Amino acid sequence: MRSWSLVVVLLVAIVLLGGESVYARRSKDGACACPRIYDPVCGTDLSTYANRCMLDCKAEEMAARSIELRVLRRGACDEPIQEPIEEQPEE
C-alpha cells in the first residue's frame, strides 16, 4: 500500500511540474519572473526583449487582447540579421 501511495504522489508531481512553461513563470501576484540572462530576441512587434522569457511574458499579456506575439529572430531588432529561430511545435 505504501508503494502505491508513493507512485500516485510521484505521478501527481510530474503532471503538475511538467505542464509549466520553461520560460515565463508567474508569481502568485501575477508578476512574470524571468532569469536575468541577456540573450536578446526580436519579437514580431519589432521590439527587442532581453530574453525569450521576457518575450513570452509579453506574449501572454498580448494574447489576452487576441494579439499574437512570437520570436522573429535572435538578437536585437536593430542588429544585422543572424539565423532565424526555428519555430517549436506546440505541445
Query: Which domains, and CATH codes, for the chain?
Result: 22-86 (3.30.60.30)
Rounded to whole angstroms, the Cα distance separating 23 from 50 reads 13
Backbone φ/ψ region at 79: left (φ over 0), alpha (ψ -120 to 50), beta: beta
How many Cβ atoms from other residues are within 10 Å of residue 68's Cβ?
Answer: 9
Rounded to whole angstroms, the Cα distance separating 61 from 64 reads 6
Counted residue by residue, the chain has a size of 91
Residue identified by cell 519555430 is 87
pLDDT means per 10 residues, the chain with 91 residues, are 64 47 65 93 97 96 94 92 65 59
All three cell numbers of 53: 522569457
H helix or E strand, kind and range, residue 36: none
